[in-house]
Amino acid sequence: MRCTLLFATIAALFFTGKLTGAVPDGKPFKAGIASKVITPKEPQWMAGYAGRNKPAEGKVHELYAKALAIEDPAGGKLVLLTSDLVGIPRELSVAVADAVQKKTGLPRERLMLTVSHTHCGPVVRGSLIDMYAMPAEHMKKVDAYTDVLRDAMIEVIVAALADLKPARLAVGKGTARFAVDRREPTEKGIINGKNPDGPVDHDVPVLRVETPEGKLRAVVFGYACHNTTLNFYQWCGDYAGFAQANLEEKHPGALALFWTGCGADANPLPRGNVDLCKKYGRDLSDAVEAVLKDKMTPVGGACAARYATVALPLGELPTKQQLAADLLSKNVALSKRAERLTKILEAGGKIDDHYAHYPVQVWRLGDEVLWVSLGGEVVVDYSLRLKKELAGKRVVWITAYANDVMAYIPSARVLKEGGYEADSSMIYYGLPTKWAPAVEEKIVTKVHELVKSLDR
């Protein structure tokens, strides 16, 4: 009886790829892809900029949810979802992950939900809602759209898992140069401007997925820069949307999927029109194309995944007097936040002094890639630090805006320097105050903890 139980346990671990090196000889990877248009079908409020005062009036191109499913030779699966959205709130990511697990058995740690952070996508329920002076009738449209979006995400993930076919995987790295540090030092402090000497991550990680015969099926790539070239009233994936379209046009039948790195403090500069947006899209797709044409590193070995949440501490909470003053502010987000927090106190409740469920996820993609994904709008310091600290036999990829976009995530340096990312951005996300200085160490410590557990 004990032998039977031991055999069953080993078999289960083998199927999920949790035994290091447990890969049957001669068996290939498998990959599945799926895509679905998520462009709203009627005029709806757009996300990303507080100054917008009306719904979208058309589109430059469609918005998409896309999924890539990977199965390693031992049967372990990973699924990446990308989407043309400014953010995904925790409520939505939990609903999607729970439904996918119920339908397919895919564990939570093996599903990565990401957004491009385009500022020309739709408002989603629970994401940056305090930012907008939105009439009630449009909030109803947001609620209805969010339900449709949830179902579309589930559908595309399930479809990708159902599409698994033999595949070859390879990885490489390119470079794009249009991202510029936006934290400009001035006599009055840090402003949202231009700092050409500031830190930026110019890497373009690339994953190629092809058939056993060598035909490209999918290409996954990332870049650490805001998708904020455009600020108008048309749906658009910004530079990332154009980059994906360029690659799909050049490789008919292939799916291009983009994820955003730690670019919360980087902008595409200059910016402001569609021609610039197309140029940056072309710069990025050219960088990816150069990698595809060059010698790439084949992916082999089993995959593994870990997922955890960590409580992040907030700083000093606002007093009742501060909230009373904020209620009178002409800043819509500040006034809305004060109203909501005041109601909590008047009902006898307490304002949270932490964010309880910050998501940290790590994947091992074969023997070649260590892939870290972090929630929120993460500044570049995290990418530069983690790539250095985790450097070794595997390439390190750092994805941000993943699984939950609840706020900006400043580093200790950025918190000390101040500025939008450190101080006032929290208002628009509805958090009661800025982060405590311990945030960076808590996140990095959790990353290292999960990475160490990957090979156990």
Helix axes 90-104, 136-162, angle to 10 degrees: 30
- Tell me if the pTM is above 0.75: yes
Convert the pLDDT of each residue in 77-119 to its tens digit: 999 999 999 999 999 999 999 999 999 999 999 999 999 999 9
Q: In sequence order, what are the residues at sequence separation of 6 or more whose Cβ sits closer than 8 angstroms to the Cβ of residue 81?
A: 65, 66, 67, 96, 111, 112, 113, 114, 153, 156, 157
SS3 state at 103: helix
For residues 254 and 372, what is the distance between their CA atoms, to the nearest angstrom? Answer: 25
Convert the pLDDT of each residue in 197-238 to its tens digit: 999 999 999 999 999 999 999 999 999 999 999 999 999 999
Per DSSP, what are the bridge partners of residue 377?
Answer: 408
Convert the pLDDT of each residue in 254-289 to its tens digit: 999 999 999 999 999 999 999 999 999 999 999 999
* Radius of gyration of the chain, Cα coordinates, nearest whole angstrom: 22
How sure is the predictor about 2, in pLDDT bands with cuts at 50, 70 and 90?
A: very low
How sure is the predictor about 26, in pLDDT bands with cuts at 50, 70 and 90?
A: low
Mean residue pLDDT of the chain comes to 94
Residue with tokens 């939505």: 92
Convert the pLDDT of each residue in 348-400 to its tens digit: 999 999 999 999 999 999 999 999 999 999 999 999 999 999 999 899 999 99
Residue with tokens 């074969």: 366
* Displacement of CA 375 from its chain's centroid (Å): 7
For residues 259 and 245, what is the distance between their CA atoms, to the nearest angstrom? Answer: 14
Please determine, for residue 19, whether its predicted confidence score (pLDDT) is greater than 50: no
The one-character DSSP state at 110 is G
How sure is the predictor about 4, in pLDDT bands with cuts at 50, 70 and 90?
A: very low
| Residue 89 · residue 76 · CB < 8 Å | no
> Average of pLDDT values for 49-53?
92
How sure is the predictor about 21, in pLDDT bands with cuts at 50, 70 and 90?
A: very low
Extents of the domains making up the chain = 12-302, 318-346
Please determine, for residue 10, whether its predicted confidence score (pLDDT) is greater than 80: no
> What's the angle, vertex CA 31, arms to CA 94 and CA 95, rounded to 5?
10
Q: Which of 340, 321, 346 is nearest to 429 (CA)?
A: 340
User: How large a percentage of the chain has pLDDT more than 90?
Assistant: 92
Please determine, for residue 13, whether its predicted confidence score (pLDDT) is greater than 90: no
